[in-house]
């Protein structure tokens, strides 16, 4: 019999069983899930990009500024 895998909750660090019936995984609770969502909404969490990345992505979509 295999042991149930566990991960640490990204918000509080509590151990969380990684099973299909755990609707909050990887979080330990709905509260920790909402705390994490709030951190993304207030831009405490960000995905790092280079300052010019947006310019490179969209540079061909618009006419150059004069």
Phi, psi for residue 25 in degrees, rounded to 5? -60, 140
> Using omega within 30 degrees of 0 as the cis cutoff, is the peptide bond preceding 56 cis?
no
User: Is 54 annotated in some ligand binding site?
Assistant: no
User: Is 56 annotated in some ligand binding site?
Assistant: no
User: Is 9 annotated in some ligand binding site?
Assistant: yes
Q: Are 10 and 27 in contact (CB under 8 A)?
A: yes
User: Is 28 annotated in some ligand binding site?
Assistant: yes
Residues belonging to the binding site for Zn(2+) are 9, 12, 28, 32
Residues belonging to the binding site are 9, 12, 28, 32
């Amino acid at each position: 019999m295999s042991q149930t895998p566990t991960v640490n909750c990204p918000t509080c660090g509590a151990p969380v069983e990684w099973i299909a019936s755990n609707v909050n995984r990887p979080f330990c609770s709905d509260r920790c899930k909402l705390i994490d969502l709030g951190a993304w909404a207030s831009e405490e969490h960000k995905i790092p990009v280079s300052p010019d990345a947006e310019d490179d992505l969209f540079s061909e979509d618009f006419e150059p500024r004069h």
